[in-house]
Amino acid sequence: MEKTRQRNWLDCAWSGVRIAFWWWLMETSLHFLYQEAILKNMPYLFSLPKDQFVALGMAMGIFFHLKYAVIFGLPSLFAKLDNMDPLPGPICLIRVTLYSKVWREFDRGLYQFFKTYIFVPICAPTFSLPRKIFGVFISYGFVLLWHGFYHHNIVWIGLNILALFIEMGSKSIYTIESVRKWREAHLSDVAFRRILAWCHILPFAIGLYSNFYFLGGSDVGAAFVQRFLIEETITVRWPFLLIISLGWFHANTAMEVDRLKSLKKTKKD
């Protein structure tokens, strides 16, 4: 007879403290930080310096993550108190460069549902490229149906599909044996990762713009497109060069964090 696993009271207590802290911090911050109200005031929004303007976008994403850390954390805490093994909480959006990872590790239950009941049944048994593409459209279409066919949601889903196809296409190129062998012969792992960091910037930027539409609505998303994509990126002004340089450092940091967490998990297993 299998022995009942011992309840980890220390983990339960620590989870409760963390949830209470983030809940308190979020509620307290809302008395002093008004990013949601500012983002709804278009004339004031366009009058802000661009460094302050982009900080509002980051604040919007951080508060979204904190909200769901609490929303997912509370039932997770009760599951631990019942000696169950709940899924981990949502991944921090700050350490993500590929938004396919957000779909996998933010709402993990939703991802498992899509994978088990939508994507895999559509792709099986061949898992050919046409089946995978069709599975992607059906999965994201389900999300769009759930959130509603509004302009900002359509843009959000469309940009996420575009970023995912860029990522899938890049990975497909590397699966070509001649490409992989050339890389192994001419590029070290460190040099290859530095190149990958540059490659991450395009899907990362697409993912950011998609989130601005999703979290802020069509007007806020259009404001970010106007002030950064049209005014800075297309014209290749110095803020654009600064941002992509910082993005390269950020991508390297994100990949290193993923590597260290993977090593830690391997040692734990």
Instruction: Show Cβ contacts of residue 171 under 8 Å, excluding neighbours closer than 6 positions.
Output: none
Structure confidence at residue 33 (pLDDT): 84
pLDDT of residue 238: 78
Token pair, residue 122, equals 């559509």
CB count in 10 Å sphere of residue 157: 20
Q: Is the pTM of this model over 0.85?
A: yes
Q: Do residues 164 and 100 make contact, with C-beta atoms less than 8 angstroms apart?
A: yes
Dihedral Cα 142, 143, 144, 147, nearest 10 deg = 130
Distances, alpha carbon 88 to alpha carbons 76, 99, 108, 188, in Å: 8, 18, 8, 34
The pLDDT value given to residue 200: 92
Exposed / middle / buried, residue 96 (Cβ in 10 Å: 0-12, 13-18, 19+) = buried
Contacts from 71-79 at CB under 8 Å and sequence distance 24+? 72/107, 73/15, 73/18, 73/19, 73/22, 74/19, 76/15, 77/12, 77/15, 77/16, 77/19
Q: Say which residues have a Cβ less than 8 Å from residue 12's Cβ, sequence separation at least 6.
A: 77, 80, 81
* 197 CB burial (10 A radius; 0-12, 13-18, 19+): buried
- Residue pair 152/218 in contact (Cβ under 8 Å)? The answer is yes
Q: Which amino acid is at 268?
A: K
**Helices 129-147 & 151-174 angle (0-180, nearest 10):** 160
Q: What is the dihedral of CA 129, 133, 135, 137, to 10 degrees?
A: 180
Q: What is the mean pLDDT of each run of 10 residues along the chain (269 residues)?
A: 76 94 92 86 89 87 92 93 90 88 90 91 88 92 92 95 92 88 90 92 92 93 91 82 89 91 81
